[in-house]
Chains A and B, each alone.
Chain A
Amino acid sequence: MRDGTNNTDPLSPEELIRKYQHGIWRYLRVLGCEASLAEDITQETFLRVIRKGFEQYNDAATAGYLRKVAYNLFISVQRREGKNVVTDEIERLDASWDKWAGADNGDALLDMLRECLEALTERARNALELRFREEHTRSAIADHLQITEHGAKNLMQRAKKQLRDCVEHKNQVELN
């Protein structure tokens, strides 16, 4: 998943934003931000790092630094709103993101997932589409597929497990 490219030429602010903005936004969404809050924090992250200035060693380091700033801003927002921040959990998510999508904004992961979705049965894909595209509740999905709510839950869990296994397999093949 990592390209490990060393980029000796520092990026201009515009290039920096264009290259990393989607990764930071997705990362914040994974941490639990709503889309609009993720957008706000992403903007603030770039404003801060560009105004302050920083050394650009390589892509991974830059991405890591930007995520760290975004992460700190996110924690600040959570605390200011009086929300308890379970740091362990966030750190685990942070590490997971770093491992799976850290260096390329998650684009490669997205491509793998797109391919893996094709391998699902039509029924399983339909259930996930109802959940993520139509934003149906589990009971509405059950009604739509004419199965029980429990059946809908199992169907989606199995579909997601299949997707996880598929992505992990593809990733392993790529690494080998």
Chain B
Amino acid sequence: MRENRYEFDNPILDIMLEELLGAAAPPDMSTEILSKLNGDKIEMVSPVSITPRHQKKRNAPWAPLSFALSAAACILAVFAISLNSNSSLTPMQEGRDLVAKANTPGIPAEADGVGALTLQNRQPPNDTFETEQLKPMAIIASDDPPSEETLAPNLKPEPNTWQHPLAFVSTETIKPMSEQDILTSITRELSKQWKEQGVTPSEFASDLKWVRRVYLRLIGRVPTTNELTPFFDGNSDPDKRETLVNRLLFSSQYSEEYLQHWTNLWTNTLIGRHGGTGKDKANRAGLAKYIYASLQANKPYNQIVRELLAATGDSDPDSDRFNGAVNFLLASVNGDDTTLATARTTSIFLGQKLQCAQCHNHPSSDIAQNQFWEMDAYFSQLHTSPVRKDEQFGFSLSNKDFQGVETPGGDAGNYFEQSNGVARLAFPTFLGHPEPSASGAVDNFDRRSRLAALVSNSPLLERTLVNRMWSHFFGYGFTSDVDDMGPHVQVSHPQLLESLANQTRANEYNLKSVLKWLALSDPFLRSSIYSPSNGIDSPELGDQPLFSRYYSRQLEPEEVYQSLLALSGTLRTPDSFGQQQLAQRSWLGQFTRQRETDEAGEISSFKGDIQQSLILMNGELMKKATKLESHTVLGKIVASANLTQVKVQQLFMAALARHPSKEELTKIKQLSLQAQADEQQFLQDIWWALLNSSEFILDH
């Protein structure tokens, strides 16, 4: 076999393996070759024209000519519309812009003999490829049937049969478990993976560290020294942790802080840090007011989502028709463009990043481009209008009948352009599950209300909520991106996610219950210090998290702000919530800015760089927190009758929730001997150093 040099060598083997193991089988080219041979007016390919497909457009020598011909065809087509407009358009559509007619819905299907095609388009997406609809350019050319040149044979896409398996709720009843059972199940599920991976979890963290964490996660700031006191050594009450969590979540003492913190978090999640601040139609304060009131009433999460999606009313809190919930969608629409609303709705509430399929089929899953536009169709009745009251402007959100491209059956669709340039109709379809009818009339089919009902009842809702909350507590969710839990994404702990999601539904979407489970869960009690026994648990390096230790991370800017405010003794000022929000936003504006992208993402410079350090060190907020005044934490500690050493310990406790180490105490003693300042000045310097340390802005 090896007598000659023509061995069965790597290139052949590799190609064969690609075919056997991968998806690199040879295509069937017979139809295409035969159609070319049969002379169907497609130019024969000359030897010179053989270039890789992706280069054909760029390299084609006749491209300029082709462009000129296309442009001429467009002009002729528009001209043709003007000639045919009287016969092909309904009176309602007369007088509209001709170019708009060529590119947008508004042309009745019966008008030019494409009614049959449009009808086929209403078939469920798992039907054959006849669901394809050509762009109006083919429709508008004339009343004659489309020519062969227009109906090129390769314009029909593969049928898309993808349906999200979790789009609808199972009929199986889920029994609620006790809190203790839920906590046990969390430990059990995580332990399974620890065992499989040969990992020993970190030791439990000290009480003081846990208290600092739980204050940060639940009310968004570090605890004061007084708040740490019950957890000093000697408190052996087995229920002390649960008592504290209950106090933070349910007592009137912390109610205001809880509401403000979670209002901020949800507002940021829904419309970003810059939404509703002038660049869009939303009123940020209006949305915050709605969320605040909803959290205060402890509304179930699915009810909040339903209200946000189906809301109608005015954005401004001073309006008689005020409904703060409208501001979520008002921040996410731009004229008739509702793509941001679709992207936010699917990613925030359902964990499906459909926006990746807005311009082309999803690169790494079965989600096709039409899935995005079919979800977007639920917003096609959305209508915004300006509202003026005195000098105040605001916007109103309502529903309005959608004309679209109407089928003889009374459904209304909208066109979107596929990547091959062909337009296709989209009707409301929830993650691949089509609606039985899709009338554009609000009285017949209120699309947003329907979407609100579907989203608020979908099992994806609780999965996404649990993942988001888990990520809030642990720094990492069960997926690498909490907004992307599509079928293509690997979930690190699927059973645990499933179990917590089920319990969230069984507990009627009570947000405080979810927070309580996570705050008391095993991984939240673990130390952030890892050892060789769990060194491989390093999601920072891109591995899947095992949650065998608490992952240290920098505080969010809002948390630093609130913490400094608490330490400066000005947390509970008589300012209204709105004024406090304004002050906080002004401070945050130094670190974040909005991206000009479809997803309205944000760039944060709050990541431990020199700019952040300089702003923190020299900013007004730091000056307030380090003032020697009676209401500041520093002022109270300095004014006490304790020994200097005790005061130093109290400063450490207030800033870092721990005692100073021996080395730190020794160093401080040395510094105190060298310092030419009095005790007050010296303690103030230590306090300033502690607040500007990396540890202060670290949740660990």
Contact = CB atoms under 8 A, between A and B. Distances in A.
A70 to B, nearest CB: 11
Interface string A2-38: 0000000000011001100110011001111011110
A132 interface: yes
Contacts of B30: 14, 17-18, 21
Given A93-B11, A101-B12, A110-B19, A26 B50 contact: no
B28 A77 contact: no
Given A76-B47, A109-B16, A132-B22, A51 B11 contact: no
B636 interface: no
Contacts of A160: 10, 13
A47 B23 CA distance: 26
B5 interface: yes
A77 to B, nearest CB: 5
B20 A110 contact: yes
B71 interface: no
Interface residues of A, number: 60
State the main secondary structure of chain A at its contact with B: helix
Contacts of B6: 92, 95-96, 98-100
A63 interface: no
A141 interface: no
Given A13-B34, A92-B6, A99-B6, A37 B21 contact: no
Contacts of A93: 11-12
Interface residues of B, number: 42
Contacts of A73: 47, 50
B67 interface: no
B99 interface: no
B41 interface: no
Interface stretch (A54-62, A147-155, A164-172): A164-172
B643 interface: no
B7 interface: yes
A29 B277 CA distance: 56
B26 interface: yes
A44 B5 contact: no
B12 A44 contact: no
A114 B20 contact: yes
A113 B34 contact: no
Interface in A89-117: 92-93, 95-101, 106, 109-110, 113-114, 117
A1 to B, nearest CB: 10
Contacts of A76: 47, 50
A43 B45 contact: yes
A40 B16 contact: no
Contacts of A50: 37
Nearest to B536: A146
B9 A22 contact: no
A41 interface: yes
A21 B29 contact: yes
Interface stretch (B51-59, B80-88, B503-511, B666-674): B51-59
Contacts of B28: 21
Contacts of B34: 13-14, 17
Interface in A69-84: 73, 76-77, 80-81
A101 B7 CA distance: 12
Nearest to A13: B37
A47 to B, nearest CB: 6
Contact of A25 (B5, B16, B26): B26
8 contacts: A18-B30, A36-B52, A47-B36, A96-B8, A113-B13, A129-B21, A168-B8, A171-B8
4 shortest interchain CB distances as A-B pairs = A132-B21, A25-B26, A22-B26, A36-B53
Interface of A: 13-14, 17-18, 21-22, 25-26, 29-32, 34-37, 39-44, 46-48, 50-51, 73, 76-77, 80-81, 92-93, 95-101, 106, 109-110, 113-114, 117, 128-129, 132-133, 135, 160, 163-164, 167-169, 171-172
Given A17-B34, A46-B33, A109-B12, 10 more contacts: A13-B37, A17-B29, A41-B50, A44-B47, A44-B50, A96-B11, A99-B4, A100-B6, A135-B22, A169-B1
